[in-house]
Amino acid sequence: MSVTAPQGFRAAGVVAGLKSSGERDVAVVINDGPSRAAAAVFTSNRVQAAPVKWSRQVVSGGRVRAVVLNSGGANACTGPLGFQDTHATAEKLAAALDDSAGEIVVCSTGLIGERLPMDKLLPAVDAAVAEADRAGGVHAADAIRTTDTVVKIAFRRQDSAQPGGQPPQKTTYTLGGMAKGAGMLAPALATMLVVITTDADLDAAELDKALRSATAVTFDRLDADGCMSTNDTVLLMASGASGVKPDYKDFTRALTEVCADLARQLQRDAEGASKYVTIEVVGAASETDAVTVGKSVARNNLLKCALAGSDPNWGRVLSAVGTTDAVFDPDRLNVAMNGVWVCRAGAPGDDRSKVDLKGKDVTITVDLSAGPHSAIILTTDLTEAYVHENSAYST
C-alpha cells in the first residue's frame, strides 16, 4: 500500500523531534529505478516556501532520486537562511544515497515563519534512509501528518491494454500515493503534500502531462476553506521497475483515480468538518464557468455555516452564484439540495422543509441553464470546531 506499493520504491517515517507530540515527523521516499523520471505541480501562491523554490528547480530536470518530507514546520517566509536549510537537507539525503542533491525533492509543512531545527532534522534524514524499506509506505504517510487525524494513502493496480499484434508480455503496473492536508485547503493547489509513485515506465514529459491533467480535475477542485498554502506540492515519481510502458490515456485515467481518491480523503478529514459537501454545477456555458460558480458557492461562509446547522438556506447559494462573471440569467437559475429543487427559474421551487440535510453527505446542484458543461467541487461545512482548531495554531 501507499508509496511503496509499486516496485522500485522504499520509504520510511521517523521521529526527529520537530513535533512536540513526539510523533513521526520526517519521511523519505526513495526511487531505486531503473528509471528516475518525475513530474510535480506546486502551489500557485506567489509567497512560496523555501522547499517549493528548491524542488521546482529539481523537478525541472525531469529526474528525481528521492524526496524528503517533514511536518512540524513549513520553512516558509524564512528568507535566505531558510533556503539554505532546504539545500542542506537535500545535500544530507543525497550524501546518504551517494547521489546528487540536484535530484532530491524537499517538502515541508507546518507553521509559517519559523526556521526548522536543523540539529534535529539532519540526523533524522540519515535515520530515515537507514530504515527505508519496501514496507515503509504507511510510516512515511504517518510522518507527514500535521492536523490530519488519519493517514491518507491510495493504491491502484492497472492492467495496461497493449497495442494489437504483440506477443503476450507483462502488462500490469501499479500506482501508490500518500497525502497530507487538513486545513488551508484551496485550489491551485489544495494545501497539501502528495507523493505518488508508479512502477510504470514513462518519461518525464508524459508524467508531467498526465499529472497536470489529473490534478486539474481532482486536487484543484477541492476547496475546504478558500485558503491557499505556501507549500503545496504534488510529486509523481516513476521507477519503470514493472517494465510496462502503458498507454498514456490509460495511465492518466489510473492516475486521476488515485488523485481523486486522495482528494476525497483530504475532504473527509478537513479540519472541523461535519459535512462533506459536493457542489455540482451543470448547464454551464463552459467548464471554466462551472468551476468558477462551484468555487464561489464552496467559499461562501454563510452557506457553509447554514450547512453545519443542516439549514437549507438556498438563498445563500444564489447570492454566491451572483458574485461570479459566469454566463447565466438570474431568472433561469435552478438549485437543488440533496435532490430537492428548492429554487426553480430563480424563484422558490419545492418547499425547503422537504430538504433533509441531517446526514454527513450533502449535494448541492446548481443548474445555470446556459449550456452543456459541468464540474464538481468538493468542500466542507464551516463549524465552530474549525474556528476553535484554527484559533490557536501557532501558540
- 218-277 residues near a copy of itself, rule: CB under 8 A: 225-230
Residue closer to a copy of itself, measured from CB, 99 or 114: 114
What grid cell was written down for 358?
A: 441531517
Q: Would you count residue 77 as binding a copy of itself (CB under 8 A)?
A: yes
Q: Which of 360, 193, 364, 174 is nearest to 266 (CA)?
A: 193
53 is in an annotated binding site: no
Name the minimum Å distance from CB 275 to a copy of itself: 11
> Measured between alpha carbons, how far is 367 from 275 in angstroms, rounded to an integer?
22
* Residue 327 touches a copy of itself, criterion: CB under 8 A: no
Q: Is 322 in the site for a copy of itself (CB under 8 A)?
A: yes
Asked whether position 288 contacts a copy of itself by CB under 8 A, the answer is no
Per CB under 8 A, 70 contacts a copy of itself: no
Binding to a copy of itself (CB under 8 A): which residues in 289-318? 299-302, 305-306, 308-309, 311-316, 318
Q: Tell me if 395 is assigned to a ligand binding site.
A: yes
Q: Is residue 351 near a copy of itself by the rule CB under 8 A? A: no
Q: Considering the rule CB under 8 A, would residue 320 count as an interface residue with a copy of itself?
A: yes
Residue 182 makes contact with a copy of itself by CB under 8 A: no
Q: Which of 43, 147, 191, 256 is catalytic?
A: 191
394 binds a copy of itself (CB under 8 A): yes
Residue 292 annotated as catalytic = no
Contact window for a copy of itself (CB under 8 A) among 105-113, 138-146, 250-258, 371-379: 105-113
Instruction: Indicate the pairing of strand 104-108 with strand 66-70.
Output: parallel
384 is in an annotated binding site: no
Contact pick of 102, 330, 339, 359 for a copy of itself (by CB under 8 A)? 330
Q: Choose, by CB under 8 A, the member of 123, 243, 346, 371 that binds a copy of itself.
A: 346
Is 180 annotated as a binding-site member? yes
By CB under 8 A, how many residues form the interface with a copy of itself? Answer: 70
Distance of closest approach, residue 76 Cβ to a copy of itself, in angstroms? 6
Kindly tell me which residue out of 81, 135, 150, 205 binds a copy of itself, with binding defined by CB under 8 A. 81
Residues acting as catalytic residues = 191
Binding-site residue positions for substrate: 146, 180, 191, 271, 390, 395
Which residues would be at the binding site for a copy of itself (CB under 8 A)?
A: 45-48, 74, 76-82, 111-115, 183-184, 225-230, 299-302, 305-306, 308-309, 311-316, 318-324, 328, 330-331, 333, 342-343, 345-348, 352, 382-384, 386-395
